[in-house]
Amino acid sequence: MQDAITSLIGAYDATGKYFDRDAMDTLKSFFATGNARLAASSAITANAASIVRKSGSQLFEEVPDLIRPGGNAYTTRRFAACLRDMDYYLRYASYALVAGNNDVLDERVLQGLRDTYSSLGVPIGPTVKGIQIMKQAVMDLVGENADWLAAPFDYMSRELSEKNI
């Protein structure tokens, strides 16, 4: 798992270049938002169960077919699995926020998720909707509408949406 700094250093080292203005701007941005990213992760950690519960409720209100007979969250087991997965997305989003890098999402969430969801026939649309609902809940909780705060949630949504699973 890499963070913004090790990723940047690795990229410049691989090409044998010194840091240029873009690299310095990236580093300045990473450090400038460091305390805010840590505070956001702390708020997520302290409120994770509530975020997942409320986001799940909102998702099931917006897509009620999920909890009706035949829906992917119909049985108690499937309902619990849906909330468990939402908790995974939230936890790994908090890791990505602290790292300032989305690599952890690829390594720990998205690669295995595609295969699992494909084999189980889990629809991606509601998954993406749930991730976006949690993003808004986190933004409301943290009280900030910032690109760095939205980035891990948008990344997961984009990666899931662009894949044919």
Structural contact between residues 67 and 73, judged by C-beta atoms closer than 8 angstroms: yes
- 153 Cβ contact list (under 8 Å, min separation 6): 89, 93, 131, 132, 134, 135, 138
Q: How confident is the model over 33-55, as a mean pLDDT?
A: 97
* Angle, CA of 88, 91 and 92, to the nearest 5°: 85
User: What structural domains does the chain harbor?
Assistant: 33-162 (1.10.490.20)
Is the pLDDT higher at 11 or at 112? 11
Structural contact between residues 132 and 153, judged by C-beta atoms closer than 8 angstroms: yes
Q: pLDDT digits over 52-97, tens only?
A: 999 999 999 999 999 999 999 999 999 999 999 999 999 999 999 9
Is the pLDDT higher at 118 or at 14? 14
Q: pLDDT digits over 126-162, tens only?
A: 999 999 999 999 999 999 889 999 999 999 999 988 6
Place of tokens 């984009």: 158
**pTM summary value:** 0.90
